[in-house]
Structure 1
Amino acid sequence: MKNCFLVLLMLLGIQQIEAQFTRKDSLQGGLRPERTCYDVLRYDLNIKINPDDKSISGYNDITFQVLKSTSKIQLDLFKNMQVDSIVLNSKKISYQREFNAVFLDFTAPLTANTQESIRFYYSGKPIIAKRAPWDGGFVFTSDAQKKPWIGVACQGTGASLWYPCKDSQSDEPNLGATIKIAAPNGLTAVSNGRLTGSEDLKNGYTRWDWEVKNPINNYDINVTIADFVHFHDNYKGLDLDYYVLRDNEERARKQFEGVKPMLDCFQSKFGEYPFANDGYKLVETPYLGMEHQSAIAYGNMYLKGYLGHDRSQTGIGMNFDYIIVHESGHEWFGNSITAKDIADMWIHESFTTYSEAVYVECLYGYEACQIYVNGLKATVNNDGPIIGKYGVNHEGSGDMYSKGALMLNTIRHLVNDDDKWWKILLKFSETYRHQIIDGETVIQFFNTETGMNLTNVFNQYLRYGTIPRLQYRLNKNRLEYQWIAMVTDFDMPVDIKIDGKKIRIQPTTNWQTSKYRVKKLSEVEVMTNDFFINVN
């Protein structure tokens, strides 16, 4: 009866999780035929942003390949934004709106293996973020000189809060994008890629034209507007461009020197910077930061650590600017390698948080890396699964950051061969460079490359809000041990020391009697800095 009751509770919990999602969620997060029938090739965005009334107007030219003949496709634009018209071959297309989805109806079916381009005119006042970047939306504020300072962050909420697109991480514009932003004269509009020119429109606005040559995910496409100072550098052949508020140029020139050791480290561990032909930029924003591809949002106030604090609580995090290191790590993990569904956002955040520890190791050595990554344990809540629910635009627990990094540190020590570990990380980054993947692909890659079956390990850390617990005891001076874990037949190896000698044991979810004789438990030390586990 007890087991039946537990099963009933689990089923009720699953039903409650299912019930919290709606048709609106599945329209945003799902992959129905109206989305899978075509593949986006490029976006060409041309808009004006008016800081006085906080509005946007303009259009997006959306070029796509028809994969399967269809009379209907889905695009996305938040319902508070106005669809002015949608045009194909100079003719207006009829459409219907449902929540934030826009369904285009074609009088003649689009034929498979053909290329089409529609122009989507729109306007309106986008939602304003209450606490960017943790909620999506625009920030309209002013600098110290009372000049407009505008930014937007939309990860998770959806890029369609400010421009029409196929708002799914499963599809990126393969051929890149152009982003043309008209802003009031005297201000600079900065976006992704390279600046190809600017033009005074003779109406009080100047249009700034940017081009991205690489695939780019929707939430990475961005704009920041301010009275910017621009300065340029080139480091080992890579163009570095910085756009900062006029009053902050001196501080920025000093602080942004930290970009160079970061690039040296990450390129040595993860491979060449993935977007060299688009350059690398830091852009000062009125919010903390975001990994906008080739135009990283920077708002850390030129402080070391995370707004002057050390997330690891070890002191080591005060040696570097957290936003420069973390958000730049996303260029490899999140921007180059992108999760197909945000339920697998751990692919972005776990690897990028681990990249902070990698940076520490590059500059300060292995021991400092271990101290730093273990310091992140204090930020783990174990409040639920890291993997979200697929198809409904749902992210998992915020533990995807620190707990995910500690999971990777655990796998490193399971591999127990650092030369092999670094080769695996490099191969992972290079194998899936500029690709969209899912969590199962990651797990299978690490299974293959390590030569170990790590599926149970990934499942325990990603799918449950607890970490494994190692229990051990003495029975007639012999050491016995077992795992307490949510994964059935969990059997992760773990390292211990007996009288200072390192030993690898292979516990299961049943008590095992080892060959090791121990007089008292104090002689046993479990390597909890190498393995993220509980012990009793």
Structure 2
Amino acid sequence: MGRAISRASLLALAAALGATAALAQEPAAPVRESTEFTLNTDQPRAPEQLAVTFDRADLSIKVIPDDKAIDAVAVLDFTATAPIERLVVELDTLLTVSEVAVDGVAVPAGQWANPEGRMTVELGRTLQPGQTAQLRIAYAGQPRVAPNSPWDGGFQWATTPDGKPWIATAVQGEGCDLFWPCIDHPLAEPGRVDLHITVPSDLSAPSNGRFLGKQDHGDGWTTWNWSAAHPNTYAIALNIGPYAERTTEYRSRFGNTFPMTYWHLDSDDPAKVDALFAQFSPMMDFYEATVGPYPFADEKMGVVETPHLGMEHQTINAYGNEYKLDGRGFDWLLHHELSHEWFGNQLTNRNADDMWLHEGLGSYMQPLYDRWLNGEGWMQASLVNQRKGLANKFPVVSGSEKTEDQVYNGDIGPGNDIYSKGSLIAHSLRMLIGDEAFFRSVTRLVYGTATPRPGSLQPRFGTTEEFRTIVNEEAGRDLSWFFRGYLYQAALPDLRQTREGDRLSFEWVTGDGGVFPMPVEVEIDGRRQTLPMNDGRGSVTAPVSAHVRIDPDNKVLRRLEHIEAWKTAAAAAAADD
């Protein structure tokens, strides 16, 4: 669902997205701590990492529930783009490396090191541009136990209601290196990841990509084989449990078909499983109609039930909302995680500073889905829920590179504002430029083209500035003021009013004092007019006795004193408790 830092943050997000049921809190697990380096992700890459393409990762991982351990072999293929003399990957030091080899030749212990979780392997030669190298790493041990998955991640070793092992990984905030050797950076996606997950034979192991079959070894262990193209590094996920499988063939509005599968606990209430599974097709149709074709149709659309709340693991989204209903006619968590197949997996931000492209645009899909299902009033109610939770302490986008923690941690960055404020900014943009320009802009951002078609899609990386450029082109005007006033300032634009007799004047004031020519609708005794606010100012004739409503359809995100007063009173009441 994107990373949140704390349960309190998640509760606020859940309220903003419309979830009304309480979220359960499991006791915190004891932590064998990884290094500070390993626990951070999205950090600058080493020069050697910048000088290679990561072609393929072949991961053989045996998961041993009784020991809460793994025994694994990773085979990593690289191609040099500049001369290098060593390979550099990340791997948690909690895992013991027993063997390192390059191109089938063992590397002596003195020629590789992994002191803080950044492993350096000497090649013994210079790898020239275009040449390849294959790195094999055998490792084992007890990986980091998630203190509070998915917000503080790692492995979650849980049990089902009937006492069977139920295991899941969620590592967005800490990175792929918690359980497999990788280049822990969003721009270092492998071209392909092949997974061979060995588990006790009475359990299942659904994972990313296409299912390539399983092999029962006849000794109580079975290997499940999967293959995924261009996965986000943190999206590789292990999910192990006594699962039953529901599958249907989805017929896309684009003419192609692909499987949609839900792996759920075999002890679940069949009626609840049926009700959730019935939501898959209409959600998919909404996203394909609104954004474009499902990006991973040559693999699958997959969902797996997990002991944690949720996470956008490419083609195997984690779902742990326990079938809760909130009166909206759909499961908010299922819908939000599915949004990330477009906003996060197909489109990946180049840096965490642009994380609102994942979370804000993904969160805006829920009010739009409320409208798709039940009409305008339901969308407005959803937007009001989001509006109440804004912090406005830090800009949604800073304009400089950030780590994930610097973005998701609301004490030092925008935190949950990347979700709800990002959504409301998207809504204001749509109201400003119209549906055609807005949705064409979103589609171009996600796919790199306004006319995506199944079979020709490649995941891509994007930035806020790229989105601004696309919006300018589609709207036919320069909207830099909009992006500057909303995304790069902490404070919301403030529409200030003054009156002189029958003349009512307005002025926009933004965090940086820049001109903000956002048009505003004004309703005077039931009659509406639009003030263009070309220089950030406008005025209208309105008798003192007239009833005046500003922005009657709530098209414009702006500072509202009554919400600030409510939040101040709520904070004071909480302090008194």
Shared fold per TM-score greater than 0.5: yes
Query: For residues 163 and 259 of structure 2, what CA distance do their matches in structure 1 show?
Result: 31
Amino acid at match of 2:125: A
- Residues 479 and 300 (structure 1), Cα distance of their counterparts in 2 relative to 1, 3 Å cut: same
Question: 1:392: how far off?
Answer: 4.1
Q: 1:147-176 deviations in whole A, cap 9, x for unaligned?
A: 1000010112111111111111012122x2
Query: For residues 470 and 522 of structure 2, what CA distance do their matches in structure 1 show?
Result: 31
- Residues 204 and 328 (structure 1), Cα distance of their counterparts in 2 relative to 1, 3 Å cut: same
2:474 to 446, 449, 470: 449
Query: For residues 49 and 25 of structure 1, what CA distance do their matches in structure 2 show?
Result: 22
Identity across matched positions, percent: 27
Secondary structure class of the residue paired with 2:247: strand
RMSD across aligned C-alpha pairs, in angstroms?
2.2
Mapping for residues 415-430 of structure 1, pairs under 5 Å: 415=433, 417-430=434-447
Partner of residue 92, structure 1: 106
User: Which range moves more in the overlay, 227-236 or 72-81?
Assistant: 72-81
1:184 to 178, 200, 224: 200
Partner of residue 424, structure 2: 406
TM-score, normalised with respect to structure 1: 0.88
Query: For residues 517 and 53 of structure 2, what CA distance do their matches in structure 1 show?
Result: 41
Q: 1:300-356 deviations in whole A, cap 9, x for unaligned?
A: 111224xxxxxxxxx6xx321011111001111001001122222111101100111
Quick check: 1:179–1:210 contact (8 Å CA) kept in 2?
yes
Q: 1:267-299 deviations in whole A, cap 9, x for unaligned?
A: 011111100011111111001111111111111
Amino acid at match of 1:196: L
- Residues 513 and 340 (structure 1), Cα distance of their counterparts in 2 relative to 1, 3 Å cut: closer
- Residues 472 and 453 (structure 1), Cα distance of their counterparts in 2 relative to 1, 3 Å cut: same
Q: Does 1:478 align with 2:498?
A: no
Quick check: 2:41–2:175 contact (8 Å CA) kept in 1?
no
Query: For residues 199 and 491 of structure 1, what CA distance do their matches in structure 2 show?
Result: 62
- Residues 138 and 521 (structure 1), Cα distance of their counterparts in 2 relative to 1, 3 Å cut: farther
Secondary structure class of the residue paired with 1:327: helix
Amino acid at match of 2:196: K
Q: 1:243-271 deviations in whole A, cap 9, x for unaligned?
A: 11111161212221011110111101111
Partner of residue 76, structure 1: 90
Partner of residue 322, structure 1: 332
Query: For residues 166 and 331 of structure 1, what CA distance do their matches in structure 2 show?
Result: 21
Partner of residue 19, structure 1: none
2:461 to 436, 440, 456: 436
Amino acid at match of 1:408: A
Amino acid at match of 1:496: E
Amino acid at match of 2:380: Q
Partner of residue 295, structure 2: 274
Relative contact order (alpha carbons < 8 A, sep ≥ 6): 1 or 2 greater? 2
Question: 1:28: how far off?
Answer: 5.2
Quick check: 1:497–1:525 contact (8 Å CA) kept in 2?
yes
- Number of residues paired by the alignment? 498
User: Which range moves more in the overlay, 271-280 or 354-363?
Assistant: 354-363
Query: For residues 345 and 98 of structure 1, what CA distance do their matches in structure 2 show?
Result: 30
Question: 1:502: how far off?
Answer: 2.8
Partner of residue 8, structure 1: none
1:194 to 205, 210, 218: 210
Q: Does 1:205 align with 2:232?
A: no
Partner of residue 497, structure 1: 522
Amino acid at match of 2:504: L
Mapping for residues 164-175 of structure 1, pairs under 5 Å: 164-174=181-191
Query: For residues 24 and 301 of structure 1, what CA distance do their matches in structure 2 show?
Result: 32
- Residues 350 and 71 (structure 1), Cα distance of their counterparts in 2 relative to 1, 3 Å cut: same
Query: For residues 204 and 102 of structure 2, what CA distance do their matches in structure 1 show?
Result: 32
Question: 1:61: how far off?
Answer: 1.3
1:255 to 276, 285, 305: 276
Partner of residue 139, structure 2: 122
Query: For residues 438 and 229 of structure 1, what CA distance do their matches in structure 2 show?
Result: 40
TM-score, normalised with respect to structure 2: 0.82
Mapping for residues 366-377 of structure 1, pairs under 5 Å: 366-377=376-387
Amino acid at match of 1:346: W
Partner of residue 242, structure 1: 262
- Residues 476 and 259 (structure 1), Cα distance of their counterparts in 2 relative to 1, 3 Å cut: same
Question: 1:115: how far off?
Answer: 2.5
Partner of residue 236, structure 2: 221
Q: Does 1:383 align with 2:390?
A: no
Partner of residue 310, structure 1: none
Question: 1:131: how far off?
Answer: 1.6
